[in-house]
Amino acid sequence: MSLAINGKAYGPFEVRDELSMNDFLREYLGMTGTKFGCGLAQCLSCAVIVDNPDGTSHTSPTCVVPAANFSGKSIRTVEGHAQNGQLSVLQKAFVEHFSFQCGYCTPGFLNEGQVLLERLAKTPAARADLDTTIRDALNGHLCRCTGYVKYHEAVRAVILADPNRYLS
């Protein structure tokens, strides 16, 4: 398999059919920012961003998906958000809002929030729908430290700081 991760080409690799994408990232590539939580596609701590050829993006769990399924794809992981030593806008907002405690769920929330921001930059949401939009986007991500409100507030703050970009 070959793929692009955070804009860089990797491969070709030979991988066993049953090797999960989570094990591939963490054990083959040493990219341990992608976490392993439930292993059952229930918590999304293992989610990465998949960039589609049509310019859209979505998140995907990696714990239950074979690495081979990502062959030819372009993905982003938590390691790719900071650029030149600078945290992304959303990462800064997570820090400023004390969104995380242990941080185990943070890569998944970060990837999901980033996908939402990029989607809204293309298709802005109505101001009245903002909270529902954020809630729907982050739904499914579990935080055992119960940081849900703080994550929500951080994403909301990024959007409200640039309403012309994200809101209709």
Contact positions vs ligand FES (CB under 6 A): 36-39, 41-46, 61, 63, 100-105, 143-145, 147
Closest contact distance (angstroms) between CB of 168 and ligand FES is 31
Q: Rank residues 104 and 125 by Cβ distance to ligand FES and give the closer one.
A: 104
Closest contact distance (angstroms) between CB of 57 and ligand FES is 18
Q: CA dihedral defined by 44, 33, 149, 124, rounded to 10 degrees?
A: -80
Q: Rank residues 61 and 113 by Cβ distance to ligand FES and give the closer one.
A: 61
Element at 76 (helix H, strand E): strand 74-76
**For residue 31, which of 84, 92, 76, 70 has the smallest C-alpha distance?**
76
Closest contact distance (angstroms) between CB of 124 and ligand FES is 29
Query: Are the C-beta atoms of 47 and 62 separated by less than 8 Å?
Result: yes
Q: Rank residues 23 and 125 by Cβ distance to ligand FES and give the closer one.
A: 23
Q: Rank residues 82 and 149 by Cβ distance to ligand FES and give the closer one.
A: 149
